[in-house]
Amino acid sequence: MSNYKILIDSSVWIEYFRNGNIPLIDECLNDDFACINDIILTELQPVLKHRRRHDILEGLNAIEKIPLKIDWEIIRTYQLLNLQNGINKVGIPDLIILQQVISEKITLFSFDKHFRLMNKFLNFELLSHWSHSPFNTSPKNNNVCFHARFALPHRILVIRDW
């Protein structure tokens, strides 16, 4: 397992399952940088089970899972800072994700707007655009279209029905 980790938020996974054109996910999976937590799995799992996509669930469960160590005082502090900075309606699950990436120094990959807003006054590494890659600074061909691929070391799962 790599020491550098990127926590891939459910917003990114959902976009990946819908459109598939997020090369950074494939890079993270292939280079063993991707990680997940129980909140993100819990956001994705019910829909995947309902659609009988056990193959995808198996793939997600194969990714390194970072255990949650919730510090409620820090969560309350982050929520207060949000309110003081005019950011409303940030849910507790996202505050727990925020606390995890800050305390464990993990990069967060998310498309959620409130993470971009919180990143202006809280110190954490955020990837918020799918074409941004910490591994390769050369421009990517953003016109490539393909069905979603969930790459794991020994298989590729095609996801067409998200």
Q: Is the pLDDT of residue 136 over 80?
A: no
Share of the chain above pLDDT 70, in %: 78
* CA neighbor of 99 nearest in space, from 129, 123, 62, 74: 74
Q: What whole-number distance in Å separates Cα of residue 84 and Cα of residue 111?
A: 23
**Nearest alpha carbon to residue 112 among 96, 90, 132, 133:** 90
Q: Is the pLDDT of residue 61 over 60?
A: yes
- If one counts the domains in the chain, the total is 1
Q: Does the CA dihedral 148-133-152-104 come out positive or negative?
A: negative
Angle 51-54-55 from CA coordinates, rounded to 5°: 120
What is residue 20's predicted lDDT score, i.e. its pLDDT? Answer: 81
Q: What is the pTM of this model?
A: 0.80
Token pair in block for residue 139: 């421009």
Res. 133: pLDDT tops 80: no
3-class SS string, the chain? CCCCCEEECHHHHHHHHHHCCCHHHHHHHHCCCEEECHHHHHHHHHHHHHCCCHHHHHHHHHCEECCCCCCHHHHHHHHHHHHHCCCCCCCHHHHHHHHHHHHCCCEEECCCHHHHHHCCCCCCCEECCCCCCCCCCCCCCCCCCCCEEEEECCEEEEECCC
User: Would you say residue 89 lies in a domain?
Assistant: no
**Residue 35 resides in a domain:** yes
Residue 128, in any domain of the structure: yes
> Is residue 148 predicted with pLDDT exceeding 70?
no
Tell me the residue range of the domain where 150 lies: 6-68+105-134+145-159
Rounded mean pLDDT, 139-162: 37
Q: Decide if 100 is inside a domain.
A: no
pLDDT value at residue 130: 52
pLDDT band at 156 (very low <50, low <70, confident <90, very high): very low
Does residue 46 fall inside a structural domain?
A: yes
CATH number for the domain spanning 64: value is 3.40.50
pLDDT tens for residues 90-125? 999 999 999 999 999 999 999 999 999 999 999 999
Residue 81 has pLDDT above 90, yes or no: yes
77 inside domain = no
129 neighbors 23 (Cβ within 8 angstroms):
no
